[in-house]
Structure 1
Amino acid sequence: MKILLPVDGSDYTKRMLAYLAAHEELLGPKHDYLAFTAVHPIPSHASRFLDRGTLDAYYSERAEEVLRPVRRFAEQTGWTLRVAHRLGDPAAAIASVVEAEQPDLIVMGSHGHTALGNVLMGSVTSGVLARCKAPVLLVR
């Protein structure tokens, strides 16, 4: 089974990984995992002063800060893990990866805002649920 793990390096990501580790009978190491993070682009008025190599290195460093602990977790649990990152809005970037990868399941941590909180603050989770047809397991 292909499982997409959208991660952002927050405590919610850590909780999601801990949940998966504690419930190995649900998923475990026999699946193909893809850890994905979205990196916010530098505003164009600032990025125009930087060359493409510098920008790419910056974006890769930001992504690696989030993905490194997930990679270590996967090594400890014996998971097969691929990693990826893209620039842009997290919900839209996740939807793009879902379209390209066609995962069987998306597992993500959620802040657990109320419906009113999601309307006022927006929510990556709500955006993913609205854009993606793959099943989603939310861990709060």
Structure 2
Amino acid sequence: MKILLAVDGSKYTKKMLAYLTTHDELFGGDNEYVAFTVQSPLPPRARAAVGKEIVDGYYKDEATKVLDPVVKYLTRHNLTTRSDWKTGPAGETIAKMADSGKFDLVVMGSHGHGSLVNLVMGSVATKVLANCGVPVLLVR
């Protein structure tokens, strides 16, 4: 199975990873994992002021801060994981990646670092569920 792990470095990402690594009956070693994070775009004026090269470096550095610990954690648990990142609105970008990448499942935390927090689940999770054609497993 090809599984997209939507991560943002929040405590719910950590809960999702713990769930993933403690449920071998669901997530055995035969799966293909891709850890994926989305960077929010900087305002156009900020991008114009500092230049494309600096902005691109910033996005890459921020994505690396989120993805490196995830890949290390999963490697320690014998799960080989690739990583990828994109810039855009988080919910829609995760859903688009899941659909275009032909993933079988998206696994993500129910809440993240977003500024809006719904009572039952976060706004990013809500948008992924609304826009994704792939099954989504939310971990609380």
Contact residue 37 and residue 63 of structure 1 kept, 8 A: yes
2:42 and 2:139 mapped to 1: Cα distance? 30
TM-score, structure 1 normalization: 0.89
Q: Which residue of 2 aligns with 1:88?
A: 88
Bigger Cα displacement from structure 2, 6-15 vs 43-52: 43-52
Deviation at 1:122, TM superposition (A): 6.3
1:29 and 1:52 mapped to 2: Cα distance? 40
Contact residue 20 and residue 28 of structure 1 kept, 8 A: no
Q: Which residue of 1 aligns with 2:14?
A: 14
Q: Which residue of 2 aligns with 1:99?
A: 99
* Deviations 1:70-89 (CA, angstroms, capped at 9, x unpaired): 11012111212111111111
Are 2:132 and 1:132 aligned? yes
2:99 and 2:26 mapped to 1: Cα distance? 24
* Deviations 1:38-88 (CA, angstroms, capped at 9, x unpaired): 101111111102222211111000000110111101211121211111111
Contact residue 19 and residue 139 of structure 1 kept, 8 A: yes
Amino acid of the structure 1 residue aligned with 2:103: P
Contact residue 3 and residue 107 of structure 2 kept, 8 A: yes
2:9 and 2:34 mapped to 1: Cα distance? 15
Could you tell me which runs of 5 or more consecutive residues in structure 2 were left unpaired when the two chains were aligned: none
Could you tell me which runs of 5 or more consecutive residues in structure 1 were left unpaired when the two chains were aligned: none
Q: Which residue of 2 aligns with 1:65?
A: 65
**Within 5 Å, which residues of 2 pair with 1:113-124?**
118=118, 123-124=123-124
Say which SS state the counterpart of residue 118 (structure 1) adopts: coil
Contact residue 105 and residue 135 of structure 2 kept, 8 A: yes
* CA RMSD after TM alignment: 1.9
Q: Which runs of 4+ in 1 moved over 2 A?
A: none
Amino acid of the structure 2 residue aligned with 1:129: L
Q: Which residue of 2 aligns with 1:30?
A: 30
1:95 and 1:82 mapped to 2: Cα distance? 18
Contact residue 110 and residue 122 of structure 2 kept, 8 A: no
**Identity rate, percent:** 47
Number of residue equivalences: 135
Are 2:34 and 1:47 aligned? no
1:132 and 1:68 mapped to 2: Cα distance? 26
